[in-house]
């Protein structure tokens, strides 16, 4: 354990909160910050009140400070980030850790008041299909201001770092620190699958938010055209709400076209572990990712993956048979028809789990992140 005379005070913003809140940034923070606490840091996460369901003020040693924010998409993140930076100006932490490029719009404000700022860049969010021209412009400015005014920038993949170098040239301190995953205990008892109408190793699995860039609609279309649709089921895990937006309504309507398509809603804990443990294959057809934690989770269970050939996926250097061309539902259907029965054999499953454990370990990620914080505090 690393020790200091005075614990380093890290204040985090740019996420809705945790535990059990759906989202890649939220999952990243939920795993990272308890590890930083173990390293001797004092961590305070500024959460968004509308998304925090209980009154807890701490979790695994991490202080949770709920601040008001609206729920309206497009302004929720920006309003909360502004309030959070103002709170940080008053609180004077050693490091302000900003997650994502939208909240990074306020990095100059934090710098103006003498705060030390580190930004973690989780992905080029302006590529997300939900944003219009105005939203994309704000996000691009957030990226530019975050890179320019942060003392250091962390990227969750080499793809993102290369993009920043190509776009902004040489930067003062930019380092790749991967997303991570905890190696799970695989559920041996499969009896709980009956609640979903499932049997072990007879279903494809996708876990993600219901947003256009995740391409659940592509996956459903491919499944309907796959020959294996009558012998396998398609399980899509994620929070959805009918009537919320056109994309979710589209996916719900498409899912009703075949009885073997199951939308489970948002699942965590034992229920999610059960679904991962007994799936035959994990599929992620996204058009945009940073470094997808859901895919890392699937690999930590030793699942056979099928993913779109976007840079964030190809960076993981899977064999060619695991990739399909983005948006090519016919090719995806063919991949789904030709996975090995039962997924990976035992040897490949154990090899996959061992690789994930070595490469995407949260303790190592915390050490690398803490080293960035130390450099910033020491230099400034």
- Residues 40, 27: Cα–Cα separation, whole Å: 21
């985090």: which residue's tokens? 12
- Residues 37, 184: Cα–Cα separation, whole Å: 21
- Residues 126, 83: Cα–Cα separation, whole Å: 23
Domain boundaries, the chain: 9-180+361-379, 191-359
What does the CA dihedral 129, 130, 134, 135 come to, rounded to 10 degrees? -100
Residue 321 and residue 264 in contact, taking contact as beta carbons nearer than 8 Å: no
Q: Do the domains 9-180+361-379 and 191-359 sit in the same CATH topology, yes or no?
A: yes
For 191-359, CATH number? 3.40.50.2000
Give me the half-sphere count of Cα atoms (radius 13 Å) on the Cβ side of residue 54: 8
**CATH 2.40.30.70 correct for 9-180+361-379:** no
pLDDT tens per residue across all 380 residues of the chain: 444 578 999 999 999 999 988 888 999 999 999 999 999 999 999 999 988 877 789 999 999 999 999 988 778 999 999 999 999 999 999 999 999 999 999 999 999 999 999 999 999 988 887 788 898 999 999 999 999 999 999 999 999 999 999 998 876 679 999 999 999 999 999 999 999 999 999 999 999 999 999 999 999 999 999 999 999 999 999 988 887 889 999 999 999 999 999 999 999 999 999 999 999 999 999 999 988 999 999 999 999 999 999 999 999 999 999 999 999 999 999 999 999 999 999 999 999 999 999 999 999 999 999 999 999 999 86
Query: Left (φ > 0), alpha (ψ -120 to 50) or beta: where does 328 sit?
Result: beta
Query: Left (φ > 0), alpha (ψ -120 to 50) or beta: where does 92 sit?
Result: left
Helix (H, G, I), strand (E, B) or coil at 12: strand
Query: How many other CB atoms sit within 10 Å of the CB of residue 184?
Result: 14
- Torsions phi, psi for 177 (to 5 deg): -130, 110
């Amino acid at each position: 354990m690393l020790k200091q005379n005075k614990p380093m005070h890290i204040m985090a913003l740019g996420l809705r909160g945790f535990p059990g809140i759906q989202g890649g940034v939220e999952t990243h923070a939920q795993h990272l910050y308890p590890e930083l606490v173990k390293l001797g840091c004092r961590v305070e996460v500024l959460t968004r009140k509308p998304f925090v369901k209980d009154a807890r003020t701490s979790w695994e040693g991490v202080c949770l400070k709920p601040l008001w924010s609206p729920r309206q998409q497009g302004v929720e993140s920006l309003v909360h980030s502004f309030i959070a930076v103002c709170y940080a100006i008053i609180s004077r932490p050693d490091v302000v850790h900003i997650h994502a490029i939208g909240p990074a719009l306020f990095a100059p404000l934090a710098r103006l008041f003498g705060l030390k700022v580190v930004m973690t860049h989780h992905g080029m969010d302006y590529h997300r299909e939900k944003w219009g021209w105005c939203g994309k412009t704000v996000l691009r400015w957030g990226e530019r201001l975050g890179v320019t005014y942060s003392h250091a920038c962390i990227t969750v993949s080499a793809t993102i770092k290369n993009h920043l170098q190509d776009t902004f040239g040489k930067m003062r301190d930019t380092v790749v620190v991967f997303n991570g995953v905890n190696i799970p205990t695989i559920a041996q008892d499969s009896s709980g699958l009956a609640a979903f109408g499932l049997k072990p190793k007879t279903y494809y699995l996708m876990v993600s938010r219901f947003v256009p860039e995740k391409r659940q609609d592509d996956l459903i279309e491919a499944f309907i055209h796959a020959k294996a649709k009558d012998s396998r089921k398609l399980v899509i895990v994620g929070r959805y709400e009918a009537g919320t937006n056109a994309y979710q309504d589209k996916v719900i309507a498409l899912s009703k076209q075949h009885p073997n398509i199951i939308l489970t809603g948002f699942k965590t804990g034992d229920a999610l572990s059960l679904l991962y443990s007994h799936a035959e294959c994990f599929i992620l057809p996204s058009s945009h990712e940073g470094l997808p934690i859901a895919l890392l989770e699937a690999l930590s269970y030793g699942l056979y993956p099928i993913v779109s050939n976007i840079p964030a996926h190809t960076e993981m250097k899977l064999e060619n048979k695991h990739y399909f061309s983005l948006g090519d539902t016919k090719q995806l259907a063919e991949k789904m028809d030709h996975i090995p029965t039962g997924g990976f054999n035992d040897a490949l499953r154990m090899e996959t789990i061992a690789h994930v454990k070595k490469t995407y370990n949260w303790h190592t990620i915390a050490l690398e992140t803490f080293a960035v914080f130390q450099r910033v505090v020491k230099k400034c």
